[in-house]
Amino acid sequence: MKALVLTISLFGLGHLKRTSLLLEKLSDRFEIDWLVSGFSDNLLPPAPNVRIVHFPKAPLFEAYAYQADPKLYRRTLNASIVEWVRFFEDFCKEEYAFFLTESFPISKTALDVQMGAMLSLFKKRNPRGRVYASSKGMPFAGREELTYEARLGNAELIQYSCELMKRYYDLVFLHADPKIYKLDEEGPLFPEVKRDILRYTGYVARIPTAPPKREKRILFSGGSGLGLGKLYGAGLEAAALMPDFQFRFLRGPYAPEINSSLKNVEFTNFVDDFQGLLLTSAAAVTQGGSTLVDLYATKTPALAHPSKESWDQKKFTEKFSRAGAVKILSDEDLEGNKLAERLMRLLVDPPSFETEIDIGGQEKTYRLILDDLERHG
């Protein structure tokens, strides 16, 4: 059987990694066409029978478009509907058992027009095909005039997400542990959505099969690299104060152009095995986001400073901090001496990891899809 998957990456990398892990497992039973928009140049197929297809990128993709002018970004994004739907119409001519979209309709409600057209086209050509969504949660404001605070816990927005779920989807997989995050926090869910459509899977992470082997390395990471200037700058200053530790900085496509002549500093643009690198690091410094799931899976001591450019990172990081999985850096900590002090304290007093968090989302999503297809086959 064949399956179709679509991932539209605007600014982040976490959802690409999450989807890759899901497809790695789903490829046990399906031949998969994976449409990827953005950040796909270095992306490797997670399995031999997963084919990566480069989907048209979102307009203004190479700039801080959303932060600079949200309304212009939305108008330009909507203008891409013709190109996206034309590409999808030309491509989607085979019979697929299911179509899985990433993030929409919860996180990226702003894609309603484009996604609606493609989902309707898929159902027209695959009337028996099932339609699923994959999301970590956190509704994204389709209304750009909303402030940061108004986007979080906005009942109107969650109800609109529920309308989209009812209109287009058979199942929506929320890759979260309800002990840590429930979609109900954002606003009241439609009872029929909660009962018939929404499924919590746990977070999606590779579960390590070997214990960590910690080396004297501090790993800095920040996904796509947006808003990393001050954090990485403080990291370089801290490296000069901690010469016994190797400092490794991962640079995403939007990372600041920074360099150093220090012998204990190195830069890497792309890493195939991020979790393996965590397992051999003494500690990590991150912006939060999806990296927090890998930090928990590897039990890596870490400090997190959520990016101001990513409105959901603050809430996500706070939840993992309350679960004892990470410690939070303040803006005042972004100075070399203060960051070095926080790192040294972290090494002797790491996070407790006291709350057990469900990270079995890869296997559970796989089972939910197989069960649904069997019931409706």
Cα distances (angstroms) measured from residue 338 to each of 70, 235, 278, 328, 334: 35, 10, 23, 13, 7
Q: What are phi and psi of 298, to 5 degrees?
A: -95, -5
CATH number of this structure's domain 2-204+360-376: 3.40.50.2000
Among 65, 371, 361, CA closest to 203: 361
Provide, for the chain, the percentages of residues in helix, strand and coil under a 3-state DSSP scheme, each rounded to the nearest 5: 40, 20, 40
Q: From first to last of its 377 residues, what are the pLDDT tens digits of the chain?
A: 999 999 987 666 778 889 999 999 999 999 999 999 876 666 788 899 999 999 887 654 443 455 556 666 666 666 667 788 889 999 999 999 999 999 888 877 767 878 899 999 999 999 999 999 999 876 654 444 445 455 555 777 888 889 999 999 999 999 999 999 988 887 889 999 999 999 999 999 999 988 999 999 999 987 765 667 789 999 999 999 999 999 999 887 666 778 889 999 999 887 778 899 999 999 999 988 889 999 999 999 999 998 776 667 888 899 999 999 999 999 999 999 999 999 999 999 999 999 999 999 999 999 999 999 999 97
Q: State how far the Cα of 313 lies from the Cα of 315, in Å rounded to an integer.
A: 6
Q: Cβ atoms within 10 A of the Cβ of 108, count?
A: 21
Query: Cα–Cα distance between 321 and 246 in angstroms, integer?
Result: 26
Using omega within 30 degrees of 0 as the cis cutoff, is the peptide bond preceding 105 cis? yes
pLDDT in tens, 73-104: 666 666 667 788 889 999 999 999 999 999 88
Per-residue exposure over 343-375, b if at least 16 CB sit within 10 Å of its own CB, e if not = beebeeebbebeeebbbbbbebbbebbeebbee
Per-residue CA distances from 327 to 190, 305, 315, 345 (Å): 35, 9, 13, 11
Helices in the chain by DSSP H: which ranges?
Answer: 14-26, 65-68, 70-79, 81-91, 112-125, 148-151, 155-168, 191-196, 229-241, 274-279, 291-298, 313-322, 336-348, 361-376
Dihedral of the alpha carbons of 368, 369, 370, 374, in degrees to the nearest 10: 100
Report pTM: 0.90
CATH 3.40.50.2000 placement within the chain: 2-204+360-376, 215-348
Structure tokens at 54: 């480069």
The residues, any chain, with a CB within 8 Å of residue 110's CB and separated by 6 or more, are 74, 77, 140, 141, 142
337: nearest Cα among 247, 237, 261, 245: 237
Residue 4, helix vs strand vs coil: strand
Give the ranges where 253-349 is alpha helix by DSSP (H): 274-279, 291-298, 313-322, 336-348
* 206-252 residue pLDDT tens: 999 889 999 999 999 877 656 677 899 999 999 999 999 999 998 87
DSSP 333: G
- Which overall architecture, per CATH, does domain 215-348 show? 3-Layer(aba) Sandwich (3.40)
- Interatomic CA distance for residues 46 and 22, integer angstroms: 9
